[in-house]
Structure 1
Amino acid sequence: MNYWKLYISVFFFASTIALAAEKPKVFCGYFPEYEEVYYPIIDQKIIGDASLYPFLNCPWSTFCESPGTLTASQENFEDWRKFFGNNLSEQVLQQFIYNETADWYQKLAENNANIINGIMAKKINKSLQKPFAKYMLLAKKCEGISSNNSGGGGWYQGEENDGYDEKPELLELALKNYKAETNAFLKNRYGYQIVRLAHYLQENEAALNYFDSFLKLDKETPYIYYLALEQKSGAAYNLKKLQESAKGFLEVYTKVPSRRRSCALSLRYLDWSNPQLNDEFFAEAGFAEIESFFKSYYFNGSISREMQKLQKNNPNSPYLEVLAIRQVDRLQNRLFKNQYDGYYGYSENKEDTNSKWLQEIAKSQIANLNVQRKDFWRIVLSASYLEVNDYKNAASSVAEISKNSEMYIQAKRLSFSIDVLNLKTVDRKEIGNLFSRLKADKQLYESRPLTAFFFNSISDLYKKDGNVIVSLLGSLNYYMESSEYDWEQLETNLGNNWKLHFKNELVDDEIITKLQNFIDLPAKSEYEKLVISKIKASPQDYANELRGTWFFQRNDLDQAISYFKKIENPNVFYEKNFRPELFSGAINEYFDTPFSQQSDKIHLKYKTLFAEDIQKNDRDENYADNKLKLAETFQKLEKLAKSDPQNAADYYYMLGNAWYNMSDAGWFLNTLQYLGNNERNHVLDYDSYNEGEQKSKNSSFDIYATNYFEKSRAANGSKETKAKATFMLAKTNYCFNVERNADYKYRVIVCRDHKEYFKSLRTNYSDTNFEAQVIRECSWYRNYLSE
């Protein structure tokens, strides 16, 4: 038997509250935990009362953790153990209370010989067997009931709703059994079921009367009394008797750990501004501190006002600390924002928080001789200074915390973070000093938030300075975990930023220059050595490869070749050869089909010009073409076009094909861009893409292709080749509109230069085999001819 079914006591609307604090959602279905969008340098658990941890600042969750240290089963067992009068084990109690069947209880009540002589029944005093069984039979029948105001959806408390309401009959039976029962413990149990049934039947006045008439607080077995009180409080709420409701929920909250969650949820629904719930009422009831806390916790009262009330009445109130640390956490959410969240790149918190009043409360607490935990308030004061960028006073506040204080480690970490915040530019000396402090002090680096804050803050300074690559190498993906860091783990995780896999944005003159300057730094600090070591290649090779690619993308072959030749280990970046078919052309490109199956294979006519052919099974879209050999081949074709003018049209045509095939529209997208064909839709703007997956800034290769195709048409060579060059010029200068006819059929109409090149193909090359092939294979050309 599930306890939550048998003894559930939260009133009907409380269980829905968990849905009210959901985290934001994003289109891709992922969102980080709240603790991952900032670095919680200040640990909220420095408050003095651990029982209040659930009420720390966790805005995307109902509670930070489940309130209460004991489970409902444990508290229930304690009462039943006293009823049985024997020191029964939890295993036996579990069997008696939760696991036995209704049939077993029925036979026990009927004195069935097989049951009463059994091992389990003998553990129960003979005089208690029948009364116990009689109560459990009722409890079994009540386990699936729900409130008549739950909406009838059949989900509440797990009941199976067939349209028949058996609660009136159960209430009648419970009242009958209560009157017949003489055992005080069992009478209280019946009383609970009676109050609960009346509450769920919406007989709220009766529920209150039943509680007052039938429930007695037994200090030895108080658990069921408070469960009934919670039910009574729900009924009082329904009757708008807010004082009675609030008082009951607060009493259960303070007395029964396992019911704190449900009571805290129920308290959320109170209208704390209602005149019934005035300060005088809570003070007389002995709940003044909890009133101020929940008014602030549920944002129904002025946080500063309630904190000032708490401070006046009890400056050592644990609730005052909770409200203070919640404000501090809101501050640090802005102060220590996670700039590199691992998924969405740089982010910035625009929230403005005014905590002048928090600063005044903290100062007053520190000055108050009666306050016991002054160092806690020094942490709070320091955080309030940080909000207004007063780093000097922030540092002074934590500096007053001695090494013997329980707050010392927290103070040390906050002090270190203040020094990081003080950094506004790339100060090599200061960065090196901070790095040395972090590495030398386990109490600092074992804190994940602090370590990530340091590295990503320095990373951000390099980014602002334009040194993008060093910024990425020095960044640390931050995910909130309970385990502590060790230094070896930290060094492994550093520089694993996903953007480093998308190098297109790094092919930039300024970015490469910044990297080169960093590589050339004399007498590098330990921090600088660690960061540069995160390049998964020789740093100089890495820079030379980027620089060579940058020149190649601009068709500056001499410079490109010079940098590629400087690379000592080229196998880190590309293969031994390149795919020679990229020099061939095709009327259509189908990207799910090998290019060699659809091209004109003109490269085979000039086999001796190319490097040794690659293996057939390597000829795919992911092959990393050797950029040095490719650039040298480009240069060779340029020279041949001049030294062998009879075939110049072919040479220029092949160069044009190569540039077109390496462009955004071509089959060999990955040759000069750090992308694969699966990113083709991104670079052609067919769909959205993440930052870092965009096309290269220098990828307008169709300009070079157009130039070479025009040279091919003007040079000496075969008419077939010139026809192909003309068609390829239409592709590099494409322009089209889509028209819909009366039958709602669509057709593509080419325009401007695209149309002019089609016209030239038809006018000048209609007698070629190639033009006939285009008519067969290209629907756009057929549409043009039918105009």
Structure 2
Amino acid sequence: MKKYILSLAVLSLLYTKTEACAWSDPDYEYFNLFTQSIIKDKSYLPFLHSYSTRFYTDFKASQIPDENIDAWKKFFNNQLNYAETDYLVNKMNINDLNALKKGTPTNQLLIKLGAGFYQKYSEAIDYLIEAKYLEPYMRINYVESPDSFYYGGPQNAKNATQLDYSKTIAALTSLYNAAKNPEIKQRYGYQLVRFNHYTRNYDAAAQAFKTYVEPIRLKGAPYIMALDQLAGAQRGLGMNSDANWNFFQVFKDSRSRKESAFVSMKLSDTASFNNILKRAGTNEEKNMAYFLLGYEDFNNPIPIMEKMFDINPDSEILKLMAVRSINELERSYLPIYYYNNNDNNSAVQTNSNKNSDQSKAETAEEPKKEELSFWQKIVRFFKRLFGIKDKTPEEAKADQSDAELLDNPDRIPVFTKNNYWYDEKTKDFLDDLEKFTNKTKEKSKDEYWQIADAYLKFLKKEYKESTEILNDIQTSNPEYQEQIKRMKVLNDIVSQPKIDAEYEDHLMKDYAEYFVDKPEPKKDSTENNNYDYYGAVPSTKDFLKDVLANRYFLQGEDGKSFLMNNTLSDLQYNPNSNLVKSVEEFYRKPNKTQFEEQIIAKNINSVGNIDAFFAVIYGDRAMRQADFEKAKSYYAKAQSFTGIPRSEWNYDANKQTPLKYASNVYNGFSNISDLVFGHNVWESYQSSENESMEADDYSSFPFIKPTMNKLELADALIQLKKIGAGKDGKSATANQLIGNLLYNTSILGYYRQLFVMDIDNSNGGKYDFWSTDRSTPYQYYYKNFTNTTFIEPDNFNLAITYYKKALETSANNEQKARVLFQMASAEQGKYYQYEAKNPSKVSYSDPQYSEKSDAYQKNLDQIKNQKYRTYFAMLKTQYAQTETAKSLMGSCSYFSYFMK
């Protein structure tokens, strides 16, 4: 199973569509629906599953009790609680203890304990005073290698060698001999072992353990701590096998030192494990040894789990192995990202279709027309005869039966070839783990195994069986109860075929806590409050939102699907028409359910005037389709538009605030220069418009103002269109100007931002030549919408149509040359679209990669020259001698190359 660790590094390179230019943390890429930390023995929390760090860290340190504090608490006859004991032992100032010894305590805890506390526990207090004196020095002296790559900095930290060795040993020995209480005596022995270890007197440390610790014959916390130091000294002596064994004992017996003991064992090979296994005398030791082997193993853990089961099916570490395996499966079955694989032209391909791609044609081919069968032709004939219309995709989605919805392969949770983790071995592993869990729940008394079995059924989409198991579980464990409750909710929602108003009422009545936002809890000041670079970890709430978003998507309710994971203002990034229409329909829907109002509609955030916001998107789309009359009707409703909703950093308020547009800056509606009707003098989006663009002759068209808003622009185009219906030179110029505007606002034009809800022409996903044949690139719900750009492609034929009219009616060869060059530029856009739809299918691993790639490129060049150089050829053969053509040769290197 661990093979996925390696694959994740590779997969991160493939996330460019969804996580472009962002760091990614694999522990933020699953929903954690099965809470790992419900294991009862919290000392094993560091060994839960994590990809980000060597040890799991998503828990409070206080969840793992320290056996040393428990030992002191017991020593003081439970007069102090755990927190007070921890404060006394680890945090109280040495001066406070000395004051207690003198009978003049000032610390509030010591005052509360009373004057008799020292008389009763004088040996213990004296020991703590000595321990607190030594503690700042109790670290090994770091000696930097002369070949060290990194500079360690000045070594100012205190270490054990800064104490007088002879005096310290003499003092500790004297205190040891004077102590009457065996536990306190053993603690002084621990200090002797530790001091010798940290001064690198390894032989003396080993001897001190034999002389001062072992004879006491107590195996509590002081013994474990001393054994930890002995193992460190044995490592220093090169006694690696003995060191590993003693660290193993610390790992087995300690609760708070398991992680450090595991690291200290340095189990880097199978032989190290086998040595421990050979020395294991009890079932507990054997079980623990198998756990260590299974934890470090990079293969299927079930054979190791079988051995652990044979020893003790109730073992807590067996549960730990199972929960790690379940977490691995969840990451494979329920990824937070899904990838399209039904579209061979899609920009992102999955592992599952890469191999099949290699068998397809490896050279670009021209698109073929759909060939209808005889039967299809008959069906179409009768449909037309009786006026029967095919259902739209939206109508087809809405008319699906419950069975169709339940059988839809794109439902989630899903383990299909639509995620990068797809692997038949993983599917087999789920079956094997389910068999093991089934067997174990019959033997073990712990309800954990029933919960695990129910969750595995959930992953297999056996929701009814999962719920039946959960209903039969009787437990008083609050963590188990919470997990059971959550899984019942998951089974209910995921198994529901259709989300209608009645079911939405059920969600709000019974499961509101999983959808309603709660205020952020205050963080414990004692815990790590560092800023979380990756944001919130995906949760059950996020998963359920995704499930519902996908249900709405499959049901044809795209607006609701979109707003489950996005805000209204996000539409600006991908304003494709069908989705915008569906979102608007939801916005205007009367009598929304409580769920729709509180959970979905809350994402209709501030975009200024909402009606104007929609009107601008619709008007822009109409402009891209050259439907100027429709565009004007929409823009007339958008005059209260205050700007595309963007944010900027407010340094005074130290936060993001809505962007305030200057009065003379383009804001998505106003301040459009008349240069939009001109032509570019050189290809530079970064240059100012006066450098990149040049005006054509507008003198005959006074309605073209130097600066316009979109309503005025649409009106000017309508007037140009009327004039263009004529047959004179003025009509030729009118058509040329319309063609210019359509080209200049296309993906290739300087003003490409005007009709795609963008504020400038800087590069970005909006200006990709998308290659999907679908009306939308979304196979699933609209999660991460702003990271997956899609805008309906430009129709360059519209600009070419107006240029053709100008060419036909113009009598001026210079004008014709200019028009032909513009037509050639638009034709270049058509070629780019064709190229994007026909990417190379040659695999990098193909031994003939270079030859096949060259053949692919040669074929592309041939198609380009045969089908997408029509107007360049006309310009070359008919108007090469014009001043315009000569000027273009000086400013356009490609045209110059073509002419030569």
One fold, TM greater than 0.5? yes
Give secondary structure in 2 for the equivalent of 1:708.
helix
Give secondary structure in 2 for the equivalent of 1:428.
coil
Are 1:531 and 2:625 an aligned pair?
no
> 1:727–1:339: structure 2 CA closer, same or farther, 3 Å change rule?
closer
Shift of 1:669: 0.7
> 1:723–1:292: structure 2 CA closer, same or farther, 3 Å change rule?
closer
Partner amino acid, structure 1, of 2:467: A
Indicate the percent of aligned positions where both proteins have the same amino acid: 15
> 1:513–1:445: structure 2 CA closer, same or farther, 3 Å change rule?
closer
Give secondary structure in 2 for the equivalent of 1:605.
coil
Shift of 1:224: 7.0
Contact 1:591 1:667 in 2 (8 A): yes
Shift of 1:62: 2.0
> 1:64–1:234: structure 2 CA closer, same or farther, 3 Å change rule?
same
- Please give the residue correspondences for 1:172-251 in structure 2 after superposition, counting only pairs within 5 Å: 189-198=191-200, 208-209=206-207, 211-213=209-211, 215=213, 226-234=224-232, 236=234, 244-251=242-249
Task: State the match for 2:499 in structure 1.
Answer: 428
Are 1:765 and 2:882 an aligned pair?
yes
For residue 453 of structure 1, the aligned residue among 534, 543, 565 is 543
- 1:143, 1:158 → 2: CA distance? 16
- 2:167, 2:769 → 1: CA distance? 70
- Please give the residue correspondences for 1:554-593 in structure 2 after superposition, counting only pairs within 5 Å: 554-561=625-632, 574-575=668-669, 578-593=672-687
Shift of 1:31: 3.8
For residue 573 of structure 2, the aligned residue among 485, 491, 502 is 502
Contact 1:675 1:693 in 2 (8 A): no
- 1:378, 1:132 → 2: CA distance? 47
Task: State the match for 2:488 in structure 1.
Answer: 415
> 1:438–1:47: structure 2 CA closer, same or farther, 3 Å change rule?
farther
TM-score by length of 1: 0.67
Task: State the match for 1:60 in structure 2.
Answer: 52
- 2:510, 2:223 → 1: CA distance? 57
- 1:166, 1:317 → 2: CA distance? 40
Partner amino acid, structure 1, of 2:228: E
Task: State the match for 1:699 in structure 2.
Answer: 794
Task: State the match for 1:105 in structure 2.
Answer: none
Partner amino acid, structure 2, of 1:350: Y
Task: State the match for 2:470 in structure 1.
Answer: 398
- 2:135, 2:146 → 1: CA distance? 21
Give the number of aligned pairs: 674
Shift of 1:721: 3.9
Shift of 1:582: 0.9
Give secondary structure in 2 for the equivalent of 1:53.
helix
Shift of 1:44: 2.1
Task: State the match for 2:327 in structure 1.
Answer: 329
Task: State the match for 1:741 in structure 2.
Answer: none
Shift of 1:63: 2.0
CA shift digits 1:375-411 (9 cap, x unpaired): x332112012223332221110112245966333321
- 1:675, 1:174 → 2: CA distance? 74
Partner amino acid, structure 2, of 1:699: D
Partner amino acid, structure 2, of 1:531: I
Contact 1:340 1:456 in 2 (8 A): no
- 1:473, 1:433 → 2: CA distance? 18
CA shift digits 1:155-195 (9 cap, x unpaired): 7898589xxx9989998998899889976766653443334
Partner amino acid, structure 2, of 1:502: Y
Partner amino acid, structure 2, of 1:613: T
Listed as ranges, the gaps of 5+ residues in structure 1 are 1-19, 82-86, 98-122, 476-494, 615-624, 737-749
- Please give the residue correspondences for 1:244-263 in structure 2 after superposition, counting only pairs within 5 Å: 244-253=242-251, 258-263=256-261
> 1:591–1:761: structure 2 CA closer, same or farther, 3 Å change rule?
farther
Contact 2:680 2:692 in 1 (8 A): yes
Partner amino acid, structure 1, of 2:470: V
Partner amino acid, structure 2, of 1:331: L
> 1:473–1:198: structure 2 CA closer, same or farther, 3 Å change rule?
same
Listed as ranges, the gaps of 5+ residues in structure 2 are 14-19, 77-84, 97-117, 180-184, 340-347, 350-417, 518-537, 645-667, 772-783, 832-863
CA shift digits 1:38-67 (9 cap, x unpaired): 212222222222333222222322222387
> 1:597–1:167: structure 2 CA closer, same or farther, 3 Å change rule?
closer
> 1:673–1:782: structure 2 CA closer, same or farther, 3 Å change rule?
closer
Shift of 1:581: 2.5
For residue 712 of structure 1, the aligned residue among 765, 787, 806 is 806
> 1:357–1:91: structure 2 CA closer, same or farther, 3 Å change rule?
closer
- 2:236, 2:568 → 1: CA distance? 55
Are 1:660 and 2:743 an aligned pair?
yes
For residue 608 of structure 1, the aligned residue among 702, 713, 717 is 702
Task: State the match for 1:145 in structure 2.
Answer: 141
Contact 2:562 2:583 in 1 (8 A): no
Contact 1:268 1:298 in 2 (8 A): no
Partner amino acid, structure 1, of 2:545: F
Give secondary structure in 1 for the equivalent of 2:282.
helix
- 2:458, 2:805 → 1: CA distance? 66
Contact 1:649 1:722 in 2 (8 A): no
- 1:403, 1:189 → 2: CA distance? 45
TM-score by length of 2: 0.60
CA shift digits 1:753-781 (9 cap, x unpaired): 56546546864533xxx678657x62639
- 1:188, 1:531 → 2: CA distance? 62
Task: State the match for 1:51 in structure 2.
Answer: 43
Give secondary structure in 2 for the equivalent of 1:680.
coil
> 1:158–1:562: structure 2 CA closer, same or farther, 3 Å change rule?
same
- 1:654, 1:216 → 2: CA distance? 97
Partner amino acid, structure 1, of 2:699: K
Q: Which moved more, 1:634-643 or 1:146-155?
A: 146-155
Shift of 1:659: 1.4
Are 1:437 and 2:433 an aligned pair?
no
Task: State the match for 2:841 in structure 1.
Answer: none
Contact 1:189 1:224 in 2 (8 A): no
Partner amino acid, structure 2, of 1:290: M
Task: State the match for 2:891 in structure 1.
Answer: 778
Who wins on radius of gyration, i.e. which is larger?
1
> 1:166–1:94: structure 2 CA closer, same or farther, 3 Å change rule?
closer
- 1:153, 1:222 → 2: CA distance? 42
Partner amino acid, structure 2, of 1:696: I
Contact 2:190 2:209 in 1 (8 A): no
> 1:783–1:308: structure 2 CA closer, same or farther, 3 Å change rule?
closer
RMSD: 5.7
Contact 1:195 1:210 in 2 (8 A): no
Partner amino acid, structure 2, of 1:409: E
Contact 2:745 2:751 in 1 (8 A): yes
Kindly indicate whether structure 1 or structure 2 has the higher relative contact order, using CA contacts under 8 Å at least 6 residues apart.
2
Partner amino acid, structure 1, of 2:723: L
- 1:559, 1:134 → 2: CA distance? 88
